[in-house]
Structure 1
């Protein structure tokens, strides 16, 4: 574009100079002829001819000046256009640059395909926060099953095994995505998580069998083991929403032991569905509900602690550590979950 306007400018200047060279000799010859004729005439005629020739000469000069001014104006205009074009070209090129399309969208120039999901149906560029939230939703399903089991709604409990089975790909996907490397630490965590998943679904089969036989004690124990292995999976996988760095609470209650009000756990041991407070051990002072009592001679029970930051921890403690709470108590929050309309 710049070369094109430069060539036009040069040609226009050459044409102007050539026209000027042709115009000047003709004007000089006409002027000389008119002057010679005026010398041979009378004084009056000479004066008139001289004035006429001067007027003609002035008019021809003014015409040449007008011509030159128009020509130079055209040259200046062409130069301005070329310089303006030079300035505008970068901005025009910048304005015409295509926007970077987002994955999954199509533009006139480029088509960017969406991220392909991996074999578990999870897109590779997704953050693990989505998987973590979905796994935490398993706890909500477990809470609903606890409510229906403790209310002995067998028809509803029978529907949970199939629903919980659908979480197998989700747990496997998180295990492989959160700890993908072959480093010893990641390898050990994958083994531990897969072990907890296997135990969890093994207990689910025991629950399914107990529900079919309508054996409430076995169903409670199976549910307790399921809750325990899921809790371990959440801890090992780093899915808990908080970290409790307190190792032992007993030293904090050493001077305030009388502040805890509970019944004697030896004379009046807690049973399933009882609201309890832990009166001994590292979790002393924490409250919860008994969800299962083990009949294997260990004299232990499973306690589901009250909700804290959206999570409910599971503890397996000796039965004499779980004491019934006294006084009027609010029901466990699982009984406040509205039942979905069928």
Structure 2
């Protein structure tokens, strides 16, 4: 069995990379078990985690968050997660080292309903059904007690690991609902581009919650897919040149560079902040749809006849 600890450390470094594009992440001494994080460059983005040059207050908040989570992860030593009986969630008892509780499994199944709601919201937003989109904020706010209870139940102890993970999960919940409020405001104005960005931020923070909370149905230990394309001609991937025909929201794309090279998905937002980044919702794999923030230049529009994104195949309950 492979250790789960390297996966979680890589996940946290990915979060920090999204807010600080250039960074160095080094493991500390074995004796201390603590990792050190060195920021070399930090660019402010509205959708980032609040990293800002020249702001000691924001930098200290970022450092505090990083230290708390990394200190918790330093003591984590668990195994790769086997699937649970229903095949959707990992076995929490094995992953988190906590007793199996019916309450926790029930909460995990309720959280899965948020995934369904997010897919339906994507469908209705991209079809500009504002009358339906405006109903989602109230629906999603009803899950606040579920997320809070799961956070406290899955990591209940005062151990540094549990404390660090509770901090991380509460942070993602806070950012998720802050983005939901921005979606509500954009919906009231029917501001489509702003609504796309708000939705993509919701999807990103919820995806992080699922990862830290052990709610993914699988763990991918691959650091990068690029090695699998070594020696293969670039012509093997068929896509439109992103420099001449950049992808936009709703475009079906294939990632042409980076650690997720070769994976396919749909663009759910293009950031208007000058970062030249977009948000891609990867195609479903083992029931999950990962969220990636990548340069627009890495997202090539797929050519030829393509099946629609699967959210458009979800029937509406009222129809």
In 1, distance between residues paired with 2:155 and 2:101? 15
CA RMSD of aligned residues (A): 1.2
| Alignment-derived partner of residue 41 in structure 2 | none
Separation in 1 of the partners of 2:231 and 2:123?
37
The answer on 1:336 being equivalent to 2:313 is: yes
- 1:274 and 2:251 aligned: yes
What's the counterpart of residue 291 of structure 2?
314
Quote how far apart the aligned CAs of 1:130 are. Answer: 1.7
- Compare relative contact order (CA 8 Å, sep 6+) and give the higher one, 1 or 2: 2
Does residue 218 of the first structure (1) align with residue 188 of the second (2)?
Answer: no
Task: Provide the C-alpha distance between the structure 2 equivalents of 1:283 and 1:260, rounded to a whole number of angstroms.
Answer: 13
- The match for 2:40 is none
Q: Which secondary structure state, in structure 2, belongs to the residue aligned with residue 289 of structure 1? A: strand
SS class of match (1:282): coil
What's the CA shift string for 1:248-283, capped at 9, x where partnerless?
Answer: 101111222322100101110000000000000000
1:125, distance to aligned residue in structure 2 (A): 5.2
Given candidates 281, 285, 303, the residue that maps to 2:262 is 285
The one of 323, 326, 329 aligned to 2:300 = 323
- For residue 32 of structure 1, what is the aligned residue in structure 2? none
SS at match of 2:182: helix
TM-score (norm 1): 0.63
For the residue of structure 1 that corresponds to 2:269, the secondary structure is: strand
Provide TM-score, normalisation by structure 2. Answer: 0.67
In the alignment, which of 247, 250, 253 is matched to residue 229 of structure 2?
Answer: 253
Per the TM alignment, residue 127 of structure 1 is displaced from its structure 2 partner at its CA by 4.3
Q: Which residue of structure 1 lines up, in the alignment, with residue 170 of structure 2?
A: 194
Structure with bigger gyration radius: 1
Name stretches of at least 5 consecutive residues in structure 2 with no aligned partner: 1-99
Aligned length: 219
- From 211, 233, 236, the counterpart of 2:212: 236
Distance 1:152 1:255 in 2: 44
Kindly state the Cα deviation for residue 164 of structure 1 after the two structures are TM-superposed: 0.2
Aligned match of 1:115 = none
User: C-alpha separation between the residues in 2 aligned to 1:129 and 1:172?
Assistant: 14
Q: Displacement of 1:224 after TM fit?
A: 0.2
Q: Is 1:206 aligned with 2:216?
A: no
Q: Does 1:153 align with 2:138?
A: no
Separation of aligned partners in 1, 2:300 and 2:105:
38
